[in-house]
């Protein structure tokens, strides 16, 4: 049982190298055998043990040689350079999963699958998201650039809307599905277009995501 009170509330974008829908959302194996992902969040409201986290932004890159649950993954976290030292420490502790109930949050679950966690970076982060429109973008100069847009009907070109609902999910309970183009260079290289993305408002506590 965690002893520190914390919460994060704000828009979250996840992009990954798998086909639309992302097989791991359904306990299936990755589309291409391995799993690579880049995610980002803007904290509109949040705190960690009395430290205000409102306005904080972070980006995380991941790579696993197989399915996530098979482990041996690596991660790189980038925090926005505007954060104070206390905010950085609080946010990194949340992201480490150490102050979550076991299996309750995506941070705790992912942490159990990582073999290598690179030193975090402080960089300027650009983040924008319109969840209803299924559009967004996040970028860190020289590190990663990800763009999200609606999936298009291959015949008409019309926007196609799909939504995932996981009533007992440890990341979200409901998310919009979109198409992502992600490029990253350096520590964890990423490169894809027309692949999976999901967007949602994260409202996370040590006990897991709250219902909206």
pTM, full prediction: 0.96
Residue 157 has pLDDT above 60, yes or no: yes
pLDDT band at 118 (very low <50, low <70, confident <90, very high): very high
The token duo for 41 is 């969040």
pLDDT attached to residue 70: 96
- Which residue, chain included where needed, has tokens 């520590």? 187
pLDDT attached to residue 208: 96
Residue 45 lies in a domain: yes
Residue 191 lies in a domain: yes
**In contact, 73 and 64? CB cutoff 8 Å:** yes
Sign, CA dihedral 198-99-104-67, equals: positive
Domain that holds residue 199: 11-205
Residue 157 lies in a domain: yes
Give the CA distances from residue 41 to residues 28, 127, 138, 170, 180, in Å, rounded to whole numbers and listed in that order. Answer: 26, 8, 9, 16, 16
Residue 126 lies in a domain: yes
Residue 74 lies in a domain: yes
Percent of the chain whose predicted confidence (pLDDT) is above 70: 99
Closest by Cα among 1, 58, 57, 55 to 206: 1
Q: How many domains does the chain have?
A: 1
Residue 130 lies in a domain: yes
- Which residue, chain included where needed, has tokens 């520190």? 4
The token duo for 76 is 């790189």
Q: What is the pLDDT averaged over residues 9-25?
A: 97
Dihedrals phi, psi of 2, to nearest 5 degrees: -65, 145
Residue 44 lies in a domain: yes
The token duo for 149 is 């847009």
Largest CA distance in the chain: 53
Report the distance separating Cα 11 and Cα 105, nearest Å. 16
């Amino acid at each position: 049982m965690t002893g520190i009170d914390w919460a994060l509330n704000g828009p979250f974008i996840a992009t990954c190298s798998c086909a639309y829908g992302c097989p791991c959302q359904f306990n299936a194996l990755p589309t291409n055998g391995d799993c690579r992902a880049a995610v980002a969040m803007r904290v509109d409201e949040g705190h960690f043990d009395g430290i205000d986290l409102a306005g904080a932004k972070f980006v995380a890159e991941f790579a696993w040689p197989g399915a996530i649950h098979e482990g041996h993954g690596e991660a790189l976290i980038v925090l926005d350079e505007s954060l104070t030292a206390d905010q950085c420490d609080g946010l990194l502790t949340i992201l480490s999963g150490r102050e979550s109930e076991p299996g309750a949050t995506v941070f705790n679950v992912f942490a159990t699958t990582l073999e290598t966690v690179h030193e975090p970076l402080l960089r300027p982060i650009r983040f924008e998201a319109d969840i209803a429109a299924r559009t967004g973008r996040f970028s860190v100069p020289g590190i990663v650039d990800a763009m999200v847009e609606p999936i298009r009907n291959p015949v008409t070109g019309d926007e196609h809307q799909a939504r995932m609902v996981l009533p007992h999910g440890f990341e979200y309970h409901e998310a919009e599905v979109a198409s992502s183009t992600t490029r990253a260079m350096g520590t964890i290289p990423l490169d894809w277009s027309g692949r999976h993305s999901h967007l949602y408002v994260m409202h996370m506590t040590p006990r897991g995501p709250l219902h909206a």
